[in-house]
Amino acid sequence: PHNPVIVSPDAGGVYRAKKFKEGLAYKYGWEDVGIAMIIKQRARAGSVDQMDLVGDVKDCDCIIVDDMIDTAGTLCKAADVLVDQGARRVFAFASHGLLSGPGNDRIANSSMEECVILNTIPSTPQRAANDKLVELSVAPLLAQTIFNIHAKRSISALFK
């Protein structure tokens, strides 16, 4: 990545973005990684009136990190904000890709290069046909967790 910046799509996800950044430093030695945050102004529940960016993303590769993608409306709007603010490329990662309603189509038609989710929710043929969606398996982590429990080894060590 080129000038990577980890982006939280809301104030509540800043801790998650920070942990993701620390994980990149630990696993890949990426020390020079920025952090940014999107602040959502809601007009009413369920609709976002305005999104403001806190941080600099000009000429950077951004990775939006979230726990869950439901309809992908907020995620795709956040990607647009990042591109409007000069981001070079935008990627997303989320543990759970619900992709309900228009979620899959929104990601397919978004300004994101790629959206990575885990296979914690059964996939569909529509997801498989979405070139921007990458689904990673949690099977190796679950297998190692079961092994560690059986061997009376640490589980928390798997998440360092």
pLDDT value of residue 159: 83
pLDDT value of residue 46: 63
Token pair for 29: 């030695």
Q: Cβ atoms within 10 A of the Cβ of 123, count?
A: 13
What is the H or E stretch that residue 125 is in? Answer: helix 125-128
> Looking at the DSSP assignment, which residues form a beta bridge with residue 38?
53
pLDDT value of residue 64: 98
Q: Are 113 and 90 in contact (CB under 8 A)?
A: yes
Q: Point out the residues that are catalytic.
A: 40
| Alpha-carbon gap, residue 97 to 141, rounded angstroms | 18
Angle of CA points 124, 130, 132, to nearest 5°:
130
Q: List the chain pLDDT tens, one digit each, 160 residues.
A: 689 999 999 999 999 999 999 999 988 999 999 999 999 887 776 666 789 999 999 999 999 999 999 999 999 999 999 999 999 999 999 999 999 999 999 999 999 999 999 999 999 999 999 999 999 999 999 999 999 999 999 999 998 7
For the sheet with 47-54, list strands across it: 47-54, 34-44, 4-8, 61-69, 89-97, 114-118, 133-136
